[in-house]
Amino acid sequence: GKQIFHGKAFCVTCHGRDGKGLGNIPGLRGKLPRNFTDKTWQAARTDGELFWILKNGSPGTDMASFVPLVLTEEEAWHVLLYVRSFGNP
């Protein structure tokens, strides 16, 4: 998951290396990228909800869909598990 987050899926561009949502994002419109280190946010979202966002994007934000254009479903699950690790430092 970490390798995909920092590479193929380019999540790091918006969400940052540390998952705090402060990546290098010129021209961003709307809400800032999600801070994955926020334990309250982590606790309020199911894995199914996070997978849905990876597959469909997040309405009202610049978060695009990544499955199947960028990631396979299996890769998306690996990224999701890595995203979960930010809530457990």
**Model confidence over 71-83: pLDDT tens digits?**
999 999 999 999 9
Check residue 28 and give its pLDDT.
62
Report residue 41 as tokens. 């946010």
- Can you spell out the DSSP letters for 3-57? HHHHTTT-THHHH-TTSSS----TT--SSPPP-TT-HHHHHH--HHHHHHHHHH-
What the chain holds in terms of domains, given with CATH numbers, is 2-25+34-85 (1.10.760.10)
Global pTM value: 0.85
Mean pLDDT of 28-44: 85
Confidence of residue 30 (pLDDT cuts 50, 70, 90): low
Residue 62 has pLDDT above 70, yes or no: yes
